[in-house]
Amino acid sequence: MSGHLALGSHHVAFGFEIEKKGKTPPWVKQVHGVDWIRANTQMASGEPMAADAVVTDRVGAEIYVYTADCIPVLLASHQSGTRPAMVAAIHSGWRGTMKGIVPNVLKVWPAPLEETRVIIGPALGNCHFEVRQDFIDEFTAVHPDIDSFLEKRDGKTFFRHFDFVCDRQLAEIDESQIDRTSAICTYCSTPELPSFRRNKSTDPQIRAWIRIEHSH
């Protein structure tokens, strides 16, 4: 799955690709936290820094995160005046969502949110994000009001993770700016996308990438 956004004088390319571990070197060591790095220089050699989001305004730099049930969130905003175009790739698993990685990146986002576009990638959907009481306890300790994001079916409870991120954490961004067409369930997707819950493995994984293209 891949696409293009026309944003003012720039185009932004993005995609979600199935990839074997080790094919492309990671920008960051993903730790389900809330830290982000700015990727304005060449990818560092050696150990990448612990972080769960990469942001850049560097034209031509492809930034990305890896997921396999966690939500990949891509952000893009266009150039305006002295403000450069900017993109972000965010890894938001339920722990990162609970701690607030997406709101944390929005705090440093330079563009007005009404000019910010969001692309949500494949992740564990409502249909398969079954949760147990320990999850509910841990999550409600931070977000006491998640009841409306829990769905009960056949005596089981499911977490509406996509909706929590889009309706709660991206609430200031208009729905029309949020592209959810790639936000399908990894577990039951056909053809099969990498799902940790299904495969008990994060190899292969989804590489969620975004890049500001050179303007023409």
Query: Of 48, 45, 24, 25, which Cα lies nearest the Cα of 36?
Result: 48
Minimum CB distance to Zn ion, residue 121 (Å): 15
User: In this structure, what DSSP letter does residue 189 have?
Assistant: -
Angle at 132 between CA 91 and CA 31, to 5 degrees: 25
Taking CB under 5 A as the binding criterion, the range among 6-14, 29-37, 167-175, 186-194 that sits at the site for Zn ion is 186-194
Minimum CB distance to Zn ion, residue 200 (Å): 16
**Contact residues for 200 (Cβ-Cβ < 8 A; gap 6+):** none
**Residue at token pair 């005046």:** 81
Minimum CB distance to Zn ion, residue 158 (Å): 9
- Rounded CA-CA distance 186/71 in Å is 10
Give the CA distances from residue 199 to residues 13, 159, 196, in Å, rounded to whole numbers and listed in that order.
29, 20, 5
Among residues 94, 187, 196, 209, the one that binds Zn ion under rule CB under 5 A: 187
- Confirm if 122 and 186 have CB atoms less than 8 A apart: yes
Among residues 32, 83, 128, 143, the one that binds Zn ion under rule CB under 5 A: 128
- Rounded CA-CA distance 46/40 in Å is 17
Among residues 1, 18, 146, 188, the one that binds Zn ion under rule CB under 5 A: 188
Q: Can residue 162 be called a binding residue for Zn ion (CB under 5 A)?
A: no
- Rounded CA-CA distance 1/172 in Å is 26
Minimum CB distance to Zn ion, residue 188 (Å): 3
Minimum CB distance to Zn ion, residue 124 (Å): 7
The residue (of 5 and 124) whose beta carbon lies closer to Zn ion is: 124
- Rounded CA-CA distance 20/103 in Å is 30
Residues in 68-127 at the binding interface with Zn ion, rule: CB under 5 A: 125, 127
Minimum CB distance to Zn ion, residue 184 (Å): 8
Among residues 73, 183, 185, 208, the one that binds Zn ion under rule CB under 5 A: 185
Which residue's CB comes closest to Zn ion?
185
Taking CB under 5 A as the binding criterion, the range among 85-93, 128-136, 147-155, 200-208 that sits at the site for Zn ion is 128-136
Q: Give contact residues for Zn ion (rule: CB under 5 A).
A: 125, 127-128, 185, 187-188
